[in-house]
A and B are shown apart, each in its own frame.
Chain A
Amino acid sequence: MSPAATNAAIPLSRQREKPGQSLKWIGKSMKRVEDPRLLTGQGRYIDDIDLPNMLHAAVLRSSRPHAKIKSIDTRAAAALPGVIKVLTGADIATTTGALPCFANPPVEQRCVAIDRVRHVGEAVAVAVAESRYVAEDALERIDVQYEDLPTVGDPQQAIRSTGDAVLHPGRGPSNVAMQRHFSFGNAQEDFAKAAKIIKRRLRWPRSGAQPLETVGAVAEYDSGSGKFTIHANTSMYNYVGWTMALSLGVPAHRLNVVPVIAGGSFGSKLFVHKVCVLAASLARICGRRVKYIEDRIDNIMACDNHGSDRIYDAELALDGDNQMIGLRCNVIDDYGAYFQFGIGHHGNALSQIVGPYKIRSVDLNITAVFTNKCQQGAYRGFGSEVSNFVIERLVDAAVDELHLDPVEFRRKNFIQRQDFPYKIPTGNLYDSGNYSAVLDEALRMLDYEGWRRKQEEYRKQGRYVGIGVATCQERSVFSATEFWMLNEDAGFALTSSPEGVSIKIDPLGKVIVSLNAPFWGNSPETMATMILAEQLKVDPDDISVAYSDTDHGLAGTGPGGSRYTVMVAGAIVGAAGMIKEKLFRVAGHMLEASPDDLELRNGKVGVKGAPGLEKTIAEIAMHAHFFRLSMPDDPTLTSGIDAAYTYDHPLTTLPSDDRSDLGIFYPIMGHMCHMPVVEVDPRTGQVSFLDYVAVHDCGTMVNPMTLAGHVRGGTAQGIGTALYEQYYYDEQGQLLTASYADYLIPTLHEVPANVRVGHIETPSPFTEYGIKGGGEGGRMGAPPAVCSAIEDALRPFGVKIDALPVTPRRLRTLIREAQARAT
């Protein structure tokens, strides 16, 4: 059977818990169990870890975007009282190797640069001292001599770089990290016979997560056992933490990563290998515990939070009936100086590149380039937020050029409810959806027609009010194939992205569930508590949640790609099934009943049809833990009540060898419709919000309150991306927005007063209870919706938005240009 034929088959659903059940906890808003300790200042974030005999590190960062390091003189710094060590990249490289890299071929990156710096902010030396203050003093006494190399800033110029402008000459004579063409369906034919082709050149600028807590690690090295312990606000340590052991040159069992809750991530703390490996290296060299916490400028310049940075030449083919038939994109993506996750961001985007529309062919040319900027990491959307922007900009352009109705044109092109499960041209599957229902709910909630009437009245008064429409996908539950399937040579072609949980019932009948990745601002403890309370029919107050380190953890990938709730639910259903079986077995002995005749009741196990004939879970637990000999001598009946279960991706297949079909890799498909109403002051370019409706379909909701929180928070971030935020590098490669005074995160003054959130629930046929992911949607929908609204407001001027962020200055320029064109 050919690979394509294999992929044509949709694997059977492994769903055990069907949607639509009558449920006690799932689907009802519950206050977060995490909150009381956070509200009282007892969160214990990474900088709150304070261990005896701990040293403090500070990092000297490159002032040069691209240079050879000629020499580093550390003597004056080392002589400063209180300084323990001042180390260069070469010093650290004597014991620590290159950082983990998910690209193939890999790109060598070090936690401290060895002989060459490739972006401003790259680490060039480290001071370790008795206090952070002294460590920072020492940095000022380090003398670095550089020999400047040509700076590559413009991604289009990067394609043509030669000689000294090539960042990684060992990897080839060019700054093109990867260039590949993909064709799905017959795009050539669709474009040849198209009645109309809509074209736009679109610029998505580099912005980033910027959680309010930076990244940090406290590391220790036990020279007696040769084992490292790293406390860090990292997340994927039970997935790829072992690769840091490889960097440190020790077997993976000699590295224990202990999780610490994170003060926000939005993707940027997925891995944080630079900080962890640096702190661990320093601990080994200094023979003492070392704490390294990024300051804000470290974080902005050199962490893992720079998002996609793309230029698209995008084209949409329409037939004579205004049906979208083909999509063609030529995209250059500026990956910066290194290549942490390969071009996984584009793999991700191919999961939903046609949006919610019945587009039958896709032609894509991807060029990934190296420039003298910080490497990309992950930021809420991981590349798919950009493809949402591109397709929605094209749709708005078609509406504009062909004088169509923005609502009805979308509706007419939607994949229809009866078409699911629906395979898009790239091979990914959309499991389920009801896009018209989402659109209708948004129209109703906004009172779209009412706003259209108000808009006319405002225009008569000389006010520029616009109504935006964006109908976007939110793929959820990533499969690991996205990381490598676009590579020429797949490399480490992993296919697992599991999530485990372990559950135990203590002797007094209370439940402890251990997760394998920590809280990072989402609500994993509340979510796990709700699902487990549902499964075991116990009170949520009787459940506590712990986070496993790598010594004790199961396989677990952690939050990311809007996967966590779906995956943890799958793992809990599996583990709770085993717990129930054990409870029934022990209770069966206690009640002299067959386990098959037993059922769970609120905190009890009882005989079906016999009210009162029951034992509390506390009684059963005490019996299971301490009265082994009261039960039959069966080697399978062990003391205690505990279970571990690892849930694998619910629905994924391999890509075909020729990549004409990428397989099913991101099938749990959410959807959203955002409708902002904005007013633009054409004299100042200021955009303000008069209303905002966001209707999301994330399948079965677990906790509507926290889901709405995600939608609103993500929307605010999307507004930041659309209007204010940019890591702006000038032509000399200097990052001009390296502080919060310059990198503008929306404040209360810039966001809508009320993002009105609505929900449609189209359950997934493949996940437990029909849950879909919902963590990224707001940021994936707001940018195209806001642009649509601004264009609509400025329709009398004919302003087109092709580049973000639409700052007041950019908007004024666009208005001026439009006015000049008109006269």
Chain B
Amino acid sequence: MAKQSVTVTVNGTRYQRDIEPRLLLSDFIRHELSLTGTHTGCEHGVCGSCTVLLEGLATRSCLCLAVQADGLSVETVESLGRIDALHPLQQAFWEKHGLQCGFCTPGMLMSVVELLRVNPAPDREAIIESIGGNLCRCTGYQNIVAAVEYAVELLRTQKEAAE
């Protein structure tokens, strides 16, 4: 299959690759760029594990072709914190036991990142709206919601401290 050149900015770094037009964005991120934090759970757009931000919008990368991201920016879980400097959202998931197997977690985190950028003080309904389409098989969701609520608190405290 003829290849096509794409340039995608992922987590602030520009990557140029020659790829088949049919390559999924999820596979591009995972296998072309070796950013394996983005997981694929169903590859038919239901589970939400593969959620990334495309131009800031939560997007199922398994339902998107990499060529569609040509010239655009993508953010994945690797754009958040590091193990010794977690992002407040990651810290909140850790504190509140918001994950068990961790497979859905990157998709959950990226969905919430989108939410908190537009709504830094979401209520429970807004949180459910944001991640109600992401499946988690381990937690029963309760601690995920608690983690998001706690993250809101952490981010607010952080912001107040900065001001």
Question: In this complex, which of B83, B84, B95, B140 has the most chain A Cβ atoms within 10 angstroms of its Cβ?
Answer: B140
Shortest A786–chain B CB gap in Å is: 13
Interface residues in B16-67 by Cβ distance below 8 A to A read: 20, 22-23, 30-31, 34-44, 46-47, 49
Bound state CA distance, A523 and B99, in angstroms? 11
The one of B46, B128, B143 in contact with A740, judged by C-beta atoms closer than 8 angstroms, is: B46
Q: Please state if B83 and A522 are interface contacts (CB–CB under 8 Å).
A: no
The one of B22, B43, B46, B132 in contact with A749, judged by C-beta atoms closer than 8 angstroms, is: B132
Bound state CA distance, A35 and B94, in angstroms? 6
Bound state CA distance, A62 and B130, in angstroms? 38
Q: Please state if A709 and B139 are interface contacts (CB–CB under 8 Å).
A: yes
Q: Does B81 contact A (CB under 8 A)?
A: yes
Q: Is the interface of B mostly helix, strand, loop or mixed?
A: loop
Shortest A133–chain B CB gap in Å is: 7
The one of A36, A43, A519, A709 in contact with B94, judged by C-beta atoms closer than 8 angstroms, is: A36
Chain B residue with Cβ nearest A293:
B40
Q: Does A739 contact B (CB under 8 A)?
A: yes
Q: Please state if A264 and B94 are interface contacts (CB–CB under 8 Å).
A: no
Question: In this complex, which of A40, A745, A755 has the most chain B Cβ atoms within 10 angstroms of its Cβ?
Answer: A40
Interface residues in A709-754 by Cβ distance below 8 A to B read: 709, 712-717, 739-741, 745, 747-749, 751-754
Q: Please state if A44 and B36 are interface contacts (CB–CB under 8 Å).
A: yes
Chain B residue with Cβ nearest A756:
B142
Residue numbers in A under 8 Å from B42 (CB-CB): 212, 296, 739-740
Question: In this complex, which of A37, A38, A213 has the most chain B Cβ atoms within 10 angstroms of its Cβ?
Answer: A38
- Given A262-B101, A295-B43, A749-B132, answer yes or no on A39-B86 (Cβ-Cβ < 8 Å): yes
Q: Please state if A42 and B103 are interface contacts (CB–CB under 8 Å).
A: no
Closest 10 CB pairs of A and B: A41-B37, A263-B103, A521-B101, A38-B102, A716-B140, A740-B46, A712-B140, A48-B36, A36-B83, A264-B101
Bound state CA distance, A522 and B49, in angstroms? 19
- Given A40-B90, A262-B101, answer yes or no on A751-B140 (Cβ-Cβ < 8 Å): yes
Bound state CA distance, A210 and B49, in angstroms? 14
A-B contacts besides A36-B84, A39-B93, 5 pairs, CB < 8 Å = A34-B102, A40-B37, A41-B38, A45-B103, A213-B41
Bound state CA distance, A295 and B43, in angstroms? 8
Chain A residue with Cβ nearest B81:
A40
Q: Does B116 contact A (CB under 8 A)?
A: no
- Given A31-B94, A521-B138, answer yes or no on A211-B103 (Cβ-Cβ < 8 Å): yes
Residue numbers in B under 8 Å from A708 (CB-CB): 97
Chain A residue with Cβ nearest B106:
A41
Residue numbers in A under 8 Å from B145 (CB-CB): 748, 753
Q: Please state if A212 and B136 are interface contacts (CB–CB under 8 Å).
A: yes
Shortest B91–chain A CB gap in Å is: 8
Q: Please state if B101 and A706 are interface contacts (CB–CB under 8 Å).
A: no
Q: Please state if B31 and A709 are interface contacts (CB–CB under 8 Å).
A: no
Q: Please state if A266 and B137 are interface contacts (CB–CB under 8 Å).
A: yes
Shortest B131–chain A CB gap in Å is: 6
Q: Does B121 contact A (CB under 8 A)?
A: no
Chain A residue with Cβ nearest B146:
A754
The one of A50, A521, A752 in contact with B31, judged by C-beta atoms closer than 8 angstroms, is: A50
Residue numbers in B under 8 Å from A360 (CB-CB): none
Classify chain B: how many residues form its interface, as a range. 35 or more
Q: Does B78 contact A (CB under 8 A)?
A: yes
Q: Please state if A263 and B86 are interface contacts (CB–CB under 8 Å).
A: no
Interface residues in B63-86 by Cβ distance below 8 A to A read: 76-78, 80-84, 86
Chain A residue with Cβ nearest B24:
A133
As a 0/1 sequence over residues 261 to 299 of chain A, the CB contacts with chain B under 8 angstroms (1 = contact) are 011111000000000000000000000000000011000
Residue numbers in A under 8 Å from B139 (CB-CB): 709, 712-713, 716
Q: Does B154 contact A (CB under 8 A)?
A: no
Bound state CA distance, A295 and B50, in angstroms? 14
Q: Please state if B138 and A705 are interface contacts (CB–CB under 8 Å).
A: no
Bound state CA distance, A43 and B35, in angstroms? 11
Q: Please state if A740 and B44 are interface contacts (CB–CB under 8 Å).
A: yes
Residue numbers in A under 8 Å from B120 (CB-CB): none
- Given A40-B86, A133-B22, answer yes or no on A520-B38 (Cβ-Cβ < 8 Å): no
Residue numbers in A under 8 Å from B80 (CB-CB): 40
Interface residues in A516-551 by Cβ distance below 8 A to B read: 519-523
Bound state CA distance, A208 and B132, in angstroms? 22
Q: Please state if A709 and B132 are interface contacts (CB–CB under 8 Å).
A: no
Q: Please state if B94 and A263 are interface contacts (CB–CB under 8 Å).
A: no
Residue numbers in B under 8 Å from A265 (CB-CB): 101
Q: Could you give 7 example pairs across A and B, Cβ below 8 Å?
A: A31-B94, A39-B81, A40-B86, A212-B47, A296-B42, A296-B44, A747-B135
Q: Please state if A211 and B137 are interface contacts (CB–CB under 8 Å).
A: yes
Q: Please state if B103 and A751 are interface contacts (CB–CB under 8 Å).
A: no
Q: Does A599 contact B (CB under 8 A)?
A: no
Residue numbers in B under 8 Å from A522 (CB-CB): 100
Residue numbers in B under 8 Å from A263 (CB-CB): 39, 41, 101-103
Shortest A719–chain B CB gap in Å is: 8
Bound state CA distance, A262 and B137, in angstroms? 13
Bound state CA distance, A36 and B86, in angstroms? 8
Q: Please state if B99 and A38 are interface contacts (CB–CB under 8 Å).
A: yes
Bound state CA distance, A553 and B7, in angstroms? 46
Q: Does B6 contact A (CB under 8 A)?
A: no
Bound state CA distance, A266 and B101, in angstroms? 10
Interface residues in B136-163 by Cβ distance below 8 A to A read: 136-145
Bound state CA distance, A519 and B145, in angstroms? 24
Residue numbers in A under 8 Å from B38 (CB-CB): 41
Interface residues in A288-324 by Cβ distance below 8 A to B read: 295-296
